Amino acid sequence: MRVEGKDYRTVWMEGSAVMTINQPMLPHRFEVVRLPTHRDTAEAIRNMVVRGAGAIGAAAGYGMAQVFIEATAEEPEHSNYVAAGYETLKNTRPTARDLFYAIDRVRSASDAVAEAEAIADEYVEAGRRIGEIGAELITDGMTVLTHCNAGWLAFVDWGSALAPIYFAHRAGRKVSVIADETRPRCQGSRLTAWELKQEGVPVKIIADNAAGLLMRRGEIDLVITGADRIAANGDVANKIGTYEKALCAKASGVPFYVAAPLSTFDLDCPDGGGIPIEQRGDEEVLYAAGMTDNGEFARVRLAPEGVEAINFAFDITLAKLIDGIITERGIIKPTADEIARIIA
């Protein structure tokens, strides 16, 4: 995607360093971060400097390649170093299926760096195909609701949920977006709105709890979200609040679609109950951070002192609430048979 006249991917490799866009700085500052070692890359994934299913996968793949670069074959503890690096990356984000998909592939490859580059390229192509295929769902004049950020920032390039919107927009169709703010880290208001503004797609931000009202009023025509893991039966783990949007969509007769590459499917997980749900720190809920009117970054406390928070990062949307899953091989029904067929 193009930012200020220059083309970028979300994450890439230069020499032995991983380069990524510093997502917590957006939309106020565009900054590229250099991650010299696999430990730096792991920390960037853990702290959500880089986030989003495909971007996590690509970054983790590059991080695993860094492990091999750092552990030379001459060292007697080479295999131990690789195993330790693998565990460091593995333990960063438990819900994201693409992370495990990427580090397992790179660990088993004969050329770790080439395999990591191949994975990133595959995400780019998958995003492009998802965009082409999913754009068929978007007709002229539609308003699409998104939740969290599943655009190019989350996916190396193009995105998953936003890719069909980009393709429809570039095809000349009038499409506008309603972006949930997506508390507690506000990826919708900070990242999705920034991306769409860069692309020239009209976007409005709403409070997370406003989507149901807009659906009932007929002001939303279609919902598309991304996914962090999809179980074998079609249950989907995605950013917390996705389940509520799916319930509202079902009650209001609004089509609800999920966009994800095949790498996000986990056939070893029979249903959503088997997907591990990451729980993050209280501070993400109890505080808010942003830029002041004076142009300074600041953090403010929202809740009373001494109050604790519950901060699950994801929830599970049941397959029965999903109209279809947009993949690089077509739009499928969220059923065990369809998923097994397309992945076979």
Residues involved in catalysis: 228
Q: How many CB atoms lie within 10 A of CB 276?
A: 13
CA distance linking residue 27 with residue 12, whole number of Å? 20
Length of the chain: 344
Query: Quick one: tokens of 181?
Result: 């703010």
Backbone dihedral angles phi then psi of residue 258, each to the nearest 5 degrees:
-115, 135
At 163 the three-state DSSP class reads helix
Q: How many CB atoms lie within 10 A of CB 17?
A: 17
The dihedral sign for the CA sequence 228, 231, 237, 243: positive
Q: Which residue intervals of 27-162 are DSSP H helices?
A: 38-46, 53-70, 78-90, 97-108, 112-134
In a 13 Å sphere around the CA of 42, the CA atoms on its Cβ side amount to 19
The dihedral sign for the CA sequence 71, 76, 79, 80: negative
CA distance linking residue 211 with residue 223, whole number of Å? 10
Element (H, E) at 193: helix 193-199
304 preceded by cis ω (within 30°)? no
